[in-house]
Amino acid sequence: KTGEFWIADRMLGAQTRGDFEHCEVALFLGKNPWHSHSIPRARVTLKELARDPARALIVIDPRRTETAAMADLHLQVKPGGDAWLLTAMLAIIAREDLVDHAFLDARARGQDEVLAALREVPIAEYCARAGVDEALARAAARRIATAGSVASFEDLGVQMSRHSTLVSYLHRLLWLLTGNYGKPGTQYTPTTLVPFATGASGHRSPVAQAPIISGLVPCNMICEEILTDHPKRYRAMIVEAANPAHSLADSQRMREALRALDTVVVIDVAMSETARLADYVLPAATQFEKAEATFFNFEFPDNYFHLRRRLLTPPDGPLPEAEIHARLCEALGGFDDGDLAPLRAAAAQGLEAYGMTFMQRVLGDARLRGLAAVILYRTLGPTLPEGLAEGAVLLGLAFRCAMQHGEALARAGFGGPPPIAALSLFRAILESPSGVVFARGEWSDVRPGTRDGTIQLALPDMLAELRKLAEPTPEREPAFPFILAAGERRSFTANTIVRDPAWRKKDPEGALRVNPEDAARLGLIAGGRARVTTRRGSAVVTVELSDTMQPGHISLPNGLGTRDPEDAAAALGGVAPNELTAVEDRDPFAGTPWHKYVPARIEALA
């Protein structure tokens, strides 16, 4: 998703979400909310869209997903063909002058340059290269452009495929050129308690010089930052609630990289594949044994936050992450009792006294500011209701939110100067076991966060990449005639933290889905065994015949193929997809993996 974050920051200065509850047209691009959700009341909302004759559901996806099966228009693009399809649709809008000129004149810059580039696009050729009938592409483009409101969502289906960063740019052009931003039923910028994603910082990784986007090193370039004799190579890694030895591309190379580090520390609730390679494993309490929250708070106009209470006392040994972090910072000499004593004294006097002291002593001190979360936990945490010590960090977040979004907080009942509003919000979070509406937005609040306050449409590097689409498409390697989507989300898939085989009621082997025509040609049968091979490796799979797959396209689910050498019964069957993926297959801008575009071949096994 880092390519999307980078593009959104450059075009709009913020991330956006769609108002699917009120939109006339909903567009899902490489997204199957029937399984992946990500919108409120996902399945109910999809059913409402599908049933209403005045509304339309449009899906762009190589597979006929559960969402695509409900759609008014399903554009079943070839794997990796999204950039050509979106460019063709944009060209249709430009040539037929279906652009919202009034919106662009008032709120955007660069539209003339963008429209000029789009008018040069050979629409019929690009539709053919995308594998979508031109009439269908025109129907979808016109339905989007003429709708009163459009809400849109892109996800991993395109963000882990070819041209992923370019596709994020084209996707935004589609709803910006048609004026679908900042009004009911369209895209909006949520008021967040925590900034969820930002753009490029200007920093680069020390070895590969990869751009750092939203504070993240591109995952497909981590191995290059380790497996080298470069003097600034990474020497140690802290892995928290992640399993890179299984979940990142090219597991074989990632294991090699982890073994090459001087020190690996893993903080996790599961003894994962990565934990087994670590020098130190620090067991964490589960989500039921500590106060916790989600920071995916994107609702509008009312945005909601819920600090969940712990339900169980953790056993001896595992600790909440907040306690682990605090002990590590203390051991490293990040602060001492002299730094904490004034804050502890202030906490004993009440929240108002603590808030003032915290602002002066911590936020006003460059040395301590970066340790604010740990200091809050150590000094304010012990004074909070039992089991809520981890929630102390929310005071700092409440201060930030009050300073940035004072009007939205005031509408939700948290008015006054920022310190007063922040303390009021913090108290409400602690005292509301079912959560609290912390911000109430208005559509007039939805505006770009760019420096000059306008939408930036013409990104030179993206327009150059758009023009490159006219170049001949490289021929597919004859040895690998299929495209594997490595990591499909299904009814019974989960991230590798869920390691209990009994949880998987269906598809325990994580079958390879194959189009029946391809299966007949290759002699594959339902339930039979086959070998799938890529440039990086091979695996034996169970075959499932599915007409949801187009010919030449195959799919494996995510989260399977875990191994437990101490308990074979606890291992999950199926294939670990990243035994088949390669770190070299990545987006040239953001370095994101092409998990949804892995050249492969299949052979039947007796």
- Domain boundary, last residue among 160, 176, 192: 192
> pLDDT of 227-258, one tens digit each?
999 999 999 999 999 999 999 999 999 999 99
The CA-to-CA distance between both ends of the chain, in Å, stands at 40
Same domain, 71 and 148: yes
pLDDT of residue 490: 82
- pLDDT of residue 566 exceeding 80: no
- What is the DSSP secondary-structure string of 318-370? -B-HHHHHHHHHHHTTS--HHHHHHHHHHHHH-HHHHHHHHIIIIIT-HHHHT
Same domain, 487 and 424: no
Instruction: Examine the domain organization and report whether 409 and 311 are in the same domain.
Output: yes
Which of 149, 172, 192 is where one domain is finished? 192
Structural domain total, the chain: 3
Q: Is residue 470 part of a domain?
A: no
pLDDT score for 266: 99
Residue 244 lies in a domain: no
> For residue 164, what is the domain's CATH number?
3.40.228.10
Q: What is the DSSP string of 502-564?
A: GG--S-TT-PEEE-HHHHHHHT--TT-EEEEEESS-EEEEEEEE-TTSPTTEEEEESS-----
User: Over 60: is that where the pLDDT of 569 sits?
Assistant: no
Using one digit for the tens of pLDDT, what is the confidence trace for 51-72? Answer: 999 999 999 999 999 999 999 9
Give dist(CA 122, CA 97) in Å, integer. 16
Mean pLDDT, all residues of the chain: 94
For residue 371, how far is the Cα from the chain centroid? 26
The CATH code of the domain that includes 550 is 2.40.40.20
402 and 512 in a single domain? The answer is: no
Q: With respect to residue 242, please indicate whether it lies within any of the assigned structural domains.
A: no
The reply to whether 423 and 522 lie within a common domain is no
| Mean pLDDT computed over 274-286 | 97
Rounded distance between C-alpha atoms, residue 140 and residue 56, angstroms = 10
Q: Cβ(531)–Cβ(538) under 8 Å?
A: yes
Tell whether the model's pLDDT for residue 570 goes beyond 70: no
The answer as to whether 207 is a domain residue is no
Q: Give 274's DSSP letter.
A: T
How would you class 453 by CB atoms within 10 Å of its CB: exposed for 0-12, middle for 13-18, buried for 19 or more?
exposed
Asked if 35 and 146 sit in the same domain, the reply is yes
Asked if residue 506 and residue 435 are part of one domain, the reply reads no
Query: What is the pairing mode between strands 436-440 and 302-305?
Result: antiparallel
Kindly state whether residues 47 and 172 are assigned to the same domain. Answer: yes
Contact 314, 286 (CB under 8 A): yes
- 76 is a domain residue: yes
Domain that holds residue 322: 302-441
Task: Kindly state whether residue 253 falls inside one of the protein's structural domains.
Answer: no
Mean pLDDT value of segment 378-394: 96
Query: Residue 423 domain-assigned?
Result: yes
* Same domain membership, residue 433 and residue 339: yes
Domain end position, chosen among 409, 441, 473:
441
**Per the domain annotation, does 199 fall within a domain?**
no
- pLDDT at residue 300 greater than cutoff 60: yes
Claim to verify: residue 540 and residue 402 sit in the same structural domain: no
